[in-house]
Amino acid sequence: MDQLADEGYLKRLDGRYALSESGLHEGALEFAASFDELTRPTHGECSADCWCHNSPEEAAACATERADAEHAAHEH
């Protein structure tokens, strides 16, 4: 813990430690990199820039459209 504080990732506060601004930033980057594979859309899911993110109504319409397409694919 002392090494992380010496490197600027932690702040020492009354015998305790807290993340510094750089610790929060680096932690967020590490978290994003570690879970990148888990946060990507899976097959058949929308991407972050899909039109369905514009409103709850469009999200419901997109989900219905995807479900209908999946159902049609399994009928053949």
pLDDT tens, residue by residue, 52-75: 777 788 878 887 887 777 666 666
CA nearest neighbour of 66 among 38, 40, 46: 46
Tokens 């590490």 belong to 30
Identify whether residues 26 and 52 lie together within a single domain. Answer: no
| Pair 69, 49 in one domain | yes
Domain that holds residue 17: 2-38
Domain total for the chain? 2
Are 7 and 32 in the same domain? Answer: yes
**pLDDT of 26:** 92
* Domain identity same for 15 and 34: yes
pTM over 0.85: no
pLDDT of 42 above 60: no
Which helix (H) or strand (E) segment is 8 a member of? none
Residue 6 and residue 20 in one domain: yes
With cut-offs at 50, 70 and 90, classify the pLDDT of residue 51: confident
- Burial letters for 7-45: b for 16+ Cβ neighbours within 10 Å, e otherwise? eebbeeeeeeeeebeebeeeeeeeeeeeeeeeeeeeeee
Domain co-membership, 12 together with 32: yes
